[in-house]
């Protein structure tokens, strides 16, 4: 069980009452990173496996005051276990307020793709809205709704420049005000939290492998998730969450976005590399389609490497135990 001070202080064996699996899981889902698909799956899985799925209707409040943090942590901590809590919210440090730190999981995706998905979703929604002739964000002025993505980027509109583009890292950095300032401090703190508090951070481009590993690490919650995901009925549901009217910016505009989001990319490549190491550790080959050639205007990252990395031999179950005890 993650977060018990017994483990943190290395004061001997865990108490006997600890369940053989983490009974407190938080999925502080990042916007436009496949989370609605995963929540659809979690609804099915919670019925099937009998865990308590705690969702939140609050979708637009990721940053909390100290009192709001305390209140939310208290509410989550008192939920019936085993629970999985999910909400769009920046990382919460339970131990700071005297609570047991839960197991965190999350999924991220290529930052420019995430940004574009959000840009058009805010304006035009997804196929569910299209079918019902709904338009997203009714209060948005028409000139803003139809603002050309290239104009937004090249003319430095607030929506297409920092700090709005610094979006993924705060979900892992946390609630500290500096977590929202694009820079090394927030980046390093986010990496540290990934290492210390997240059981798994997957990447959306390899969702099937993310689900496989979740099933392996958290079977009480995710057993059979892949077969449910591959079920044709579910695929039909998933297609409704695809953003509509998406267009691709010019290479020049994407290059500018890439420069503005350099910390986001450094974090994304770090997470991707960790994810690939984890896959190798568990003998998972990549099942993804051959990636499209990276456009020339994307700067290749030194973290992206195709060579196999030799891992030290380690017993899989022992490794999982250590993760749970961290």
304 to each of 109, 242, 253, 268, 277, how far by Cα in Å?
A: 15, 28, 23, 11, 12
The SS3 assignment for 39 reads helix
Determine, yes or no, domain membership for 8. no
Domain span at residue 189 reads 24-283
What is the secondary structure of 291-324 as a DSSP string?
PPPPPTTSPPPTT---S--PPPP--HHHHHHHHH
Determine, yes or no, domain membership for 93. yes
pLDDT(303) > 80: no
296 to each of 31, 199, 249, 267, 292, how far by Cα in Å?
A: 28, 34, 15, 21, 12
Determine, yes or no, domain membership for 298. no
Overall pTM surpassing 0.85 (yes/no): no
Q: How confident is residue 277, by pLDDT bands cut at 50, 70 and 90?
A: very high
CATH code, domain carrying 71 = 3.40.50.300
Active site residue 220: no
Determine, yes or no, domain membership for 236. yes
Determine, yes or no, domain membership for 31. yes
Alpha carbon distance 172, 162 (integer Å) = 18
Domain count, the chain: 1
**175-189, pLDDT tens digit by residue?**
999 999 999 999 999
pLDDT(205) > 90: yes
Confidence at residue 123, expressed as pLDDT on a 0 to 100 scale:
87
Confidence at residue 131, expressed as pLDDT on a 0 to 100 scale:
43
Determine, yes or no, domain membership for 191. yes
Which percentage of the chain shows pLDDT scores above 70? 74
Q: What is the residue-averaged pLDDT of the chain? A: 82
Confidence at residue 108, expressed as pLDDT on a 0 to 100 scale:
98
Question: 49, 88, 176, 234: which one is catalytic?
Answer: 88
Containing 145, the helix (H) or strand (E) segment is: helix 142-145
Containing 218, the helix (H) or strand (E) segment is: none
Confidence at residue 300, expressed as pLDDT on a 0 to 100 scale:
38
Determine, yes or no, domain membership for 302. no
Return the axis-axis angle of helices 207-217 and 262-281, rounded to nearest 10°.
Answer: 60
Determine, yes or no, domain membership for 244. yes
**122-160, pLDDT tens digit by residue?**
888 764 444 443 456 678 888 899 999 999 999 999 999
Confidence at residue 268, expressed as pLDDT on a 0 to 100 scale:
98
Q: How confident is residue 294, by pLDDT bands cut at 50, 70 and 90?
A: very low
314 CA to centre of own chain: 27
pLDDT(256) > 50: yes
Confidence at residue 26, expressed as pLDDT on a 0 to 100 scale:
98
Q: How confident is residue 58, by pLDDT bands cut at 50, 70 and 90?
A: confident
Lowest mean pLDDT among 63-77, 133-147, 149-163, 307-321: 307-321
């Amino acid at each position: 069980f993650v977060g018990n001070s017994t483990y943190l202080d290395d004061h001997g064996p865990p108490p006997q009452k600890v369940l053989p699996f983490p009974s407190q899981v938080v999925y502080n889902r990042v916007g436009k990173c496949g989370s609605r698909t995963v929540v659809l799956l979690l609804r099915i899985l919670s019925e099937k496996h009998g865990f308590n799925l705690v969702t939140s209707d609050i979708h637009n409040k990721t940053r909390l005051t100290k009192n709001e943090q305390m209140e939310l942590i208290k509410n989550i901590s008192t939920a019936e276990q085993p629970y999985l809590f999910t909400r769009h919210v920046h990382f919460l440090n339970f131990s700071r307020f005297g609570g047991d730190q839960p197991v965190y999981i999350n999924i991220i995706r290529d930052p420019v793709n995430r940004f574009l998905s959000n840009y058009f979703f805010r304006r035009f929604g997804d196929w569910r809205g299209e079918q019902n002739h709904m338009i997203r964000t009714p209060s948005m002025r028409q000139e803003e709704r139809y603002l050309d993505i290239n104009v937004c980027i090249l003319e430095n509109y607030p929506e297409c420049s920092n700090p709005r583009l610094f979006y993924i890292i705060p979900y892992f950095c946390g609630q500290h005000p500096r977590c929202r300032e694009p820079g090394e401090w927030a980046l390093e703190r986010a990496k540290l939290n990934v290492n210390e508090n997240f059981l798994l951070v997957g990447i959306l481009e390899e969702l099937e492998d993310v689900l496989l590993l979740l099933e392996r690490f958290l079977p009480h919650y995710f057993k059979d998730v892949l077969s449910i995901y591959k079920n044709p009925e579910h695929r039909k549901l998933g297609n409704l969450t695809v953003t509509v009217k998406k267009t691709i910016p010019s290479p020049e505009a994407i290059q500018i976005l890439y420069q503005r989001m350099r910390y986001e990319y450094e974090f994304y490549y770090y997470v991707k590399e960790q994810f690939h190491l984890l896959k190798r550790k568990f003998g998972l080959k990549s099942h993804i389609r051959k990636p499209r050639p990276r456009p020339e205007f994307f700067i290749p990252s030194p973290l992206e490497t195709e060579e196999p990395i030799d891992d030290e031999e380690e017993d899989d179950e022992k490794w999982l135990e250590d993760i749970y005890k961290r």
